[in-house]
Amino acid sequence: MQFMLLFSRQGKLRLQKWYVPLSDKEKKKITRELVQTVLARKPKMCSFLEWRDLKVVYKRYASLYFCCAIEDQDNELITLEIIHRYVELLDKYFGSVCELDIIFNFEKAYFILDEFLLGGEAQETSKKNVLKAIEQADLLQETKEQKVKLSILH
Amino acid sequence: MSPSVPLQEMIRAIRSARTQCEERGVIQRECAAIRAQFRQADNGGRSHNLAKLLYVHMLGYPAHFGQMECVRMIASPRYSEKRVGYLGAMMLLDEKQDASLLITNSIKNDLSHSNQYVQSLALCTLACMGSAEMCRDLAPEIDRLLRASNSYIKKKAALCAVHIVRKVHDLGELFAPAARSLLAEKNHGVLHGAVVLIIELCERNPETLERFRKTVPDLVQIMKGLVLSGYSPEHDVAGISDPFLQVRILRLLRILGHNNEGASDAMNDLLAQVATNTDSTKTVGNAVLYETVLTVLDIKSESGLRVLAVNILGRFLLNNDRNIRYIAMTSLQKIVGTDHNAVQRHRGTIVDCLKDQDASVKRRALELSLALVSASNVRSMMKELLLFLSSCPAELKAHAASGIFNAAERYAPSQRWHIDTILHVLTTAGGDVRDETVPNLIQLITNASELHCYTVHKLYRALLTDISQQSLVQVACWCIGEYGDLLLRGECQETEAVQVTEDDVLDALETVLQSHMSSPTRITDNVDRIRSIVSIYGSCIDVELQQRAVEYNALFKKYDHMSLFPPPVCGFPQVCDLLDLLGGSEETLQPSPAVGAPAPGLLINTASTAGGDLLDLLGVLEPAPLAPGVTLRHTHTHTHTHTHTHTHTHTPQSDTGLTVTLTASNSTDSDISSFTLQAAVPKLYLSLAGPFLAASHYIKSFLLQVNLKMRVRISYTSQGSAFQDTVQIDSFPGLDAAGQ
């Protein structure tokens, strides 16, 4: 996978994960153009499009578009499954996830994504294991924070 | 995890801004605060600040000043700060930034951290944005982690290794042994990572590929386990056990089995099993089937298995899910060359997809349909394709039109069918036809000599109905010019007779001209071309027609401000075009001094240098004022009142030779001395796309591959002054179509 973008129906970016080195300017340009292209598509259309020299796979979940750019030899259908898996993870973590959750807890959305994909490839195929890892990492963060808070009180 | 209150407050504040301006104000204030916080000593809220900055960055605002903060945070002992610091690094520091090198050391340390979640952060960041240099630095660490760590780390290290190999190809060798041993692991995450890594290694190095071929039996075993095992809750997706891993293994098998009989044999049974047993009711099953089909078609599979694969694609074509139909056609496109007959069996379904609502599906269907046209199905296929052309989206029209032309050219069952098809395309999508196709069409029409009458009638009628299609107008006008007499004759065997008078023809041309005159962009192109047809009538016996033609010529001159040469006389083409033919010359030409009906003067090209070698004739000549009292006369033109005349005649001699006789006569009072004659013919005879609509004689001569042109230069001295004249001779009367 080259990159993944999450954006709203108004074209507002909610998450961007880039797995290829591009300048900020290039990223902005790609984002702007691709968002425009995807938003222009009608509801019943194909989830796949050829854009520039990339294959783009996208799917809309409620008010959010999940959009991935994959390599030529990648399997489009399994990419749809990857997108679906990510949505399921978010859903499990936030409890019936909605766009606001991702807006107000964007850094967590990234942490979850980084526990599921690494370098653009799926690293863990078990939903349970991904969620367990996130839980443990969160716990670690909390414990350390608590430790710090306690030390300040004393 | 408790929410970051400061972060959420800021997000709320930004979102409540009602205008872009207000939002910018809020953000500026926040950024100022964040900057101030960064400068302060450690206050326990650093991670919140950086998170705020990252949010602002995602909205599109600059956040460079956060880069150093990321570096600092990554080095912090606190996990919460590391977490946000690494996230910031992945968002703000790509490998192009200098600051990215500063985190190499932190990453190195964290890779050996006692806590696996810290190790995980380092691995994730390296795999996301590690530069080649960082990768080279840290590769040995990754290799170590591949061998001696827990599953959680191993699976991440494997994907990190993939990134390293993509950045630094040579390092592939380093990871090959570890990758091999990882295949024995039971953990799916590790297996998946290992397979991805092996794919990367094999794709980059053919020797590595050879060595990994030995793993085919192991891979087959793993797949069997997945496909035949019972329900496994941890990895199940709609009844398929770990489809992600299955797809990866299938891809690796494809690479290993490609062009290798032994490996392909070893996986044959398994592939058949997967193809038959996988449930295809959900997307996930189809994803596995899709990968299986791709593998079967790319290895040396048994014919039975191949048929099975193509049939799966055929089933995909009938699937309700548009996505499935789309990928089916993509796959069929890949094999339409090699398994043509198998794909032909699904032609009906593919043609149906031309009517799909989705433009991507339509495009795929068009490509496939064009590839499936053959001599046996051309009539029915063309019907469908022409139907498609009339209603297809604008972006596909040009491609469809040229595809139809190509197919028609290859498989036309008759010339008349061919011309009908072309006419149909021109009337439906004439505006989208590519420029090069028009001269080809003219060639085709020329060659179909028995159908000239039919063609010109049809084109004339088409022209009457619709003059908006550019290419149709061009072809029609040319055709009328060329075969106008057939049109006027009225009768035609192939089509119903229509009484067409010369007036009607001129009316039609007039309409065309008027509409074209109103569009300034095409004015010089078409006016010049069409005027040449009109000038045919300039020499007509019918006075009224002649007058009309003359009036048009005058009208043309009014619009002629951009053109640099006078209207051509019939039989005498525009020199500019010919100069292109003869190798290109950029000079401007002087308009002839003789202006007016019916026959303006010859086009004369003069050069100030007397003499010059023969090659010059074909090269660039400089314009110079017309030498007084000199002219060259071509036998095809009308005579006019100049003092010197010079004619040439030719006699066809033999198959290989042609004699051209030039006779010069001096009708002035003074003597002419130092008379030299130079003649040049071009070596190459080009048939070009470009100006094609001109006087009929002209068109005849250059469309045919062999056309003889000659440029003749005469220089002499008279009354103490040197004069030079050059003339182009473009057609030799008496030469037949083959130029003999």
Can you list the residues of chain A whose pLDDT is less than 50? 151-154
C-beta separation of B199 from B208 below 8 A: no
Can you give the pLDDT at residue B646?
Answer: 46
Alpha-carbon dihedral angle through residues A89, A90, A95, A98, given to the nearest 10 degrees:
-150
Is pLDDT above 80 for B599?
A: no
Residue scoring higher pLDDT (B735 or B10): B10
Distance CA B567, CA B559 (A): 12
Q: What are phi and psi of B282, to 5 degrees?
A: -115, 165
Q: What are phi and psi of B593, to 5 degrees?
A: -70, -25
Can you give the pLDDT at residue B210?
Answer: 95
Can you give the pLDDT at residue B412?
Answer: 86
Asked whether the bond before B206 is cis by omega within 30 degrees of 0, the reply is no
Can you give the pLDDT at residue B328?
Answer: 94
Is pLDDT above 80 for B699?
A: no
Residue of A18, A123, A141 with shortest CB distance to B189 = A123
Residue of B44, B189, B322 with shortest CB distance to A124 = B189
Residue scoring higher pLDDT (B449 or B157): B157
Tens of pLDDT along B251-300?
A: 999 999 999 999 999 999 999 999 999 989 999 999 999 999 999 999 99
Can you give the pLDDT at residue A116?
Answer: 97
Can you give the pLDDT at residue A145?
Answer: 60
Q: Please tell me whether residue A39 adopts helix, strand or coil conformation.
A: helix
| Alpha helices for B412-561 (secondary structure H) | 415-429, 437-447, 452-465, 470-489, 502-517, 523-538, 543-558
For residue B491, give the H/E element and its range: none
- Residue A123 with chain B: CB contacts under 8 Å: 155-156, 159, 189, 192-193
- Residue B189 with chain A: CB contacts under 8 Å: 123-126, 129
Query: Quick one: average pLDDT of B535-545?
Result: 54
Can you give the pLDDT at residue B635?
Answer: 38
Is pLDDT above 50 for B611?
A: no
Half-sphere exposure of B2 (CA within 13 A, CB side): 10
Query: Quick one: average pLDDT of B523-540?
Result: 54
Q: Which of A126, A79, A110 is nearest to B125 (CA)?
A: A110
C-beta separation of B413 from B379 below 8 A: yes
Can you give the pLDDT at residue B513?
Answer: 67
A122 in contact with chain B, both atoms CB, cutoff 8 A: yes
Tens of pLDDT along B617-669?
A: 433 333 333 333 333 333 333 233 333 444 444 444 444 455 566 666 666 65
- Residue A80 with chain B: CB contacts under 8 Å: 283, 287, 323
ipTM: 0.94
Distance CA B251, CA A57 (A): 19
Distance from CA of B430 to the nearest CA of A (A): 27
Residue of A28, A46, A107 with shortest CB distance to B361 = A46
Query: pLDDT band for position B737 (50/70/90)?
Result: very low
Classify residue B40 by burial, with Cβ atoms within 10 Å: 0-12, 13-18, 19+: exposed
Can you give the pLDDT at residue B275?
Answer: 95
Angle at B480 between CA B476 and CA B484, to 5 degrees: 160
Average pLDDT over chain B, rounded to whole?
76
Query: Quick one: average pLDDT of B318-325?
Result: 92
- Express as a percent the part of chain B with pLDDT over 70: 69
Query: pLDDT band for position B539 (50/70/90)?
Result: low
Can you give the pLDDT at residue B313?
Answer: 94
